[in-house]
Amino acid sequence: MTAVPASYLGVWKRSLLTTDSGHRDTTTLVFWLQTQTLFADLRIPVPVPAEGSRSLQECSEQQLLQLAQQQGFAGVTEVSDDICTWHRELDYQPKSGPPDVGKMVFVTSEFVTEDDPSGENRYHEDWHRLEGSTGKVWGHRLEAVDQPSRKGFLLGAGEYFLFAADRQVDLPPKHDLQSHIMSAESVEQQQALLGLQLSFGWIRKLGQNPAWCITHSTVPGCVDKALLPSSITVEELNRSIALEMGILCPQGGWKLLPA
């Protein structure tokens, strides 16, 4: 896959979404981390679902349904002129609908707009690049040592990282994740369906927070926890055989693969 233009690299935070139905969203926490080829995108509603819960096991059924409203994806980005296509390989929601494609306009180097490429004005988004995200940009594909079909991504841009790890169970096509949760046969099945982890945070130590500190996550109990030991640097990742990462880490850890 051809590398995206350098202007896309970094972490972008969405400030506005409008749709042709009249919907306007300025509160959802949305972070898009873009490397030369790989991307990850995390979208958490506000108020944050199940905030304060220490695990999926602690959540009530109502909280599990709230968590199912989250969104997030990871995969490969392709750019052709002003058209950007995000090829999703991991998706928090059931895979459905048209390809994820947007028409991008760089208003400034730090502010880009995204619109419906069909010209029908179905949606509009404003994105602002986070300060501190234009340093070293890198990305790794991940593979579960004990379950090679289970994939993940660990991406970094400047001061930030975004970790994406697939759930341990398959998610059949359906309208949305809430539908799966409501039709699940057990609480354990509900929890497994919500087991796709997307976690965003800081790479370096800040104040009382550890290095690799998670600030936002789709899985309860991750925030303020370290994704990796502080002794591991970005440079040392390339020398690692397997890493233990995530609240639902596979046995044997994650194997790092070329981007």
Residues 218 and 44 sit within 8 Å (Cβ to Cβ): yes
Task: Give the pLDDT confidence score for residue 82 in this predicted structure.
Answer: 97
In a domain, 215, yes or no: yes
In a domain, 156, yes or no: yes
Task: Among 26-35, 110-119, 123-132, 240-249, name the one with the lowest average pLDDT.
Answer: 240-249
In a domain, 1, yes or no: no
Q: What are the helix (H) ranges across 78-233?
A: 177-183, 187-193
Structural domain containing residue 21: 6-257
Q: What are the helix (H) ranges across the chain?
A: 61-67, 177-183, 187-193, 234-237
Question: How does 178-190 read in b/e, with b if 16+ C-beta sit within 10 Å?
Answer: bebbeebeeeeeb
pLDDT in tens, 58-115: 999 999 999 999 999 999 999 999 999 999 999 999 987 778 999 999 999 999 999 9
Task: Give the pLDDT confidence score for residue 212 in this predicted structure.
Answer: 96
As for how many domains the chain has, the answer is 1
Task: Give the pLDDT confidence score for residue 129 in this predicted structure.
Answer: 99
In a domain, 213, yes or no: yes
In a domain, 27, yes or no: yes
Q: Return the beta strands (E) in 68-203 as ranges.
A: 71-80, 83-91, 100-108, 111-115, 123-129, 137-144, 151-157, 160-165, 197-202
Residue 241 has pLDDT above 90, yes or no: no
Please give the residue that has the higher pLDDT: either 96 or 35: 35
Torsion angles phi and psi, residue 74, rounded to 5? -155, 155
End-to-end C-alpha distance for the chain, whole angstroms: 10
In a domain, 118, yes or no: yes
Look up residue 206 and give its DSSP letter: B
pLDDT in tens, 138-193: 999 999 999 999 999 999 999 999 999 999 998 988 789 999 999 999 999 999 99
Q: Sheet holding 197-202: strands in order across?
A: 213-217, 197-202, 160-165, 151-157, 137-144, 254-257
In a domain, 206, yes or no: yes
In a domain, 184, yes or no: yes
Distance from C-alpha of 201 to C-alpha of 159, rounded to nearest angstrom: 9
Task: Give the pLDDT confidence score for residue 38 in this predicted structure.
Answer: 98
Give the CATH number of the domain where residue 218 resides: 2.40.128.280
pLDDT in tens, 189-225: 999 999 999 999 999 887 777 899 999 999 999 999 9
Instruction: Tell me the whole-structure pTM to 2 decimals.
Output: 0.95
